[in-house]
Structure 1
């Protein structure tokens, strides 16, 4: 399985790491931490040196009950960061974490390589059309509702079956528009209870039937620290354990805050 990022073919039959760079003031783990050019560039350099293939830049916090911000504010946050990173590290493959088609378009036109959409087009009816026109890889995540409402939308007839059906419909729609490079993300923590997150991880191998790369975002999430009765700051070891499980079940991309440890997971699991 390969995806084309700015003319470079990335082979996802071998697992890769996507490093998280939140430029929001209210992200659940690192909110407000990367608020200067120096801090941003230092973090990007660190993640690239540790082995990240992609840097995922987000300017809209998608944690439960996150504050809603305007499209203009999201653009004003993210475009200068995109320019800053590419000026210093021009070969960086930057993923843009957005559900807004206009933000996606602006970022791709300014050098980003792929789009990571938590809503799989549900929050912007123009997203699929925009991705088709831009001809860039597209990560489709499963979520119900919005970040502000998702915690109350956790009813499913059959969790895994429902999410697989959701993706089958989304994939068919995307293919009909000519979108080639698709990646699926089951959406751990999005419109799912703690127990449902573990059920989903336990059946992650079933998503291989979609015959698409699988992105897994488990890094320091509440499903880890609530189970361990600690907090996000102390959830790195738990993240490593669950990332290992995800890799054994077929994950192609690990989206993480801690790149070095995720790369070690990939190296050790590959040795098996």
Structure 2
């Protein structure tokens, strides 16, 4: 996993989870507590409510990306940049300042005037964006999007999200964002849930991961909460996201999210790392396939990259003996015990075993096929 240096702030597996707080200088932004048009008031908010509560990064939005509003042009965003620049010049703390934009002209102007990194919500749909970020040696968060500057985040299927993140390549300091939220009419809560469930797959891109899940609809729907009551589900998901490999969490609830992220980090699986060997966090075949694709390996090996364990009970002595022998033939293992037994094997081994089990073990065969096919 590549680590990223964002103006001296380390982001990646070798560093603690980073919290990105939000400041908007766009009057149309729906979350009013983060919206300011006075630089002095905005700077006070950053010092007290963002940096003061644990934000490492402050993401400054010049316009709302909500699909209900018309998209500002680059010129329109640039007209609002003065307020953003005056704000960051008035802040007494020293966070990393990120400019949220889709235009390379805005990114260049912001980086030239004191910003440290870019949050590209259209994922390099502007092909000049990576060039600008590289010239300024700036970290850039790249959100999965279609190749269209007016449709940020409007990708539904997880496989398409993964491919969209590769659009126009990466810089050495790219952070990937799978784009949670209702960015289009066709994107459903089920799409977001699947994206979250498969979050580890994005580690296959070899880049740090940013998630923006704060009070999102797909979490509120699970608990039946409105936006005001959605903080607990956001915090639960934050801990899970960090445990699954997220490195940056974008949020309006800085102090609480920081604590949840630290819990996720504390209980994340320890993985061995040294200069030449890295233990990967792989729990499914698809996750293994992503890493194999990155290193140029044979994707067929993914079937043997993870291990599954099933407890099997209710077998006769003959059935146990049959299962044990067939498991060995396919590279799996059945370990009998006094009150049942454990069947252990890779998906590839168990897939082959399921096809060779006799009729007497048809129920087990069906369970294995359903689980590993």
Give yes or no for TM over 0.5: yes
What are structure 2's unaligned runs of at least 5 residues?
268-373
1:22 and 2:19 equivalent? no
Residue 238 (structure 2) aligned to one of 226, 236, 243? 243
1:221 and 2:199 equivalent? no
Is the CA contact 2:6–2:117 (under 8 Å) kept in the aligned structure 1? yes
Paired residue for 2:204? 209
Q: Please identify, of 98-107 and 69-78, the stretch whose mean Cα deviation from structure 2 is larger.
A: 69-78
Is the CA contact 2:144–2:152 (under 8 Å) kept in the aligned structure 1? no
Is the CA contact 1:79–1:107 (under 8 Å) kept in the aligned structure 2? no
Distance, in Å, in 2 between the alignment partners of 1:229 and 1:9 is 37
What is the aligned residue count?
Answer: 260
- Trace 1:174-193 onto structure 2 (pairs within 5 A): 174=170, 179-189=171-181, 190-191=183-184, 192-193=187-188
Q: Please identify, of 188-197 and 223-232, the stretch whose mean Cα deviation from structure 2 is larger.
A: 223-232
Is the CA contact 1:65–1:149 (under 8 Å) kept in the aligned structure 2? no
Distance, in Å, in 1 between the alignment partners of 2:6 and 2:237 is 28
SS at 2:88 equivalent: helix
What are structure 1's unaligned runs of at least 5 residues?
none
Deviations 1:167-209 (A, max 9, x none): 3454xx33xxxx3111000001134311100000001011111
Is the CA contact 1:24–1:31 (under 8 Å) kept in the aligned structure 2? no
Deviation at 1:117, TM superposition (A): 0.4
Is the CA contact 2:25–2:61 (under 8 Å) kept in the aligned structure 1? yes
Is the CA contact 1:2–1:9 (under 8 Å) kept in the aligned structure 2? no
Q: Which has the larger radius of gyration?
A: 2
- Trace 1:86-235 onto structure 2 (pairs within 5 A): 86-89=89-92, 91-122=94-125, 124-144=126-146, 159-170=157-168, 173-174=169-170, 179-189=171-181, 190-191=183-184, 192-235=187-230
Q: Please identify, of 10-19 and 54-63, the stretch whose mean Cα deviation from structure 2 is larger.
A: 10-19
Is the CA contact 2:235–2:256 (under 8 Å) kept in the aligned structure 1? yes
Q: Tell me which of the two structures has the higher relative contact order, counting C-alpha pairs closer than 8 angstroms and 6 or more residues apart.
A: 1
Deviation at 1:81, TM superposition (A): 2.0
Distance, in Å, in 1 between the alignment partners of 2:191 and 2:160 is 12
SS at 1:232 equivalent: coil
TM-score (norm 1): 0.86
SS at 1:234 equivalent: coil
**Residues 227 and 57 from structure 1, CA distance in 2 versus in 1: closer, same or farther, beyond 3 angstroms?**
same
Q: Please identify, of 85-94 and 216-225, the stretch whose mean Cα deviation from structure 2 is larger.
A: 85-94
Deviation at 1:38, TM superposition (A): 4.0
Considering only aligned residues, what root-mean-square deviation do their CA atoms show, in Å?
A: 2.4
SS at 2:52 equivalent: helix
Is the CA contact 1:57–1:96 (under 8 Å) kept in the aligned structure 2? yes
SS at 1:225 equivalent: helix
Paired residue for 1:42? 44
Distance, in Å, in 2 between the alignment partners of 1:205 and 1:250 is 6
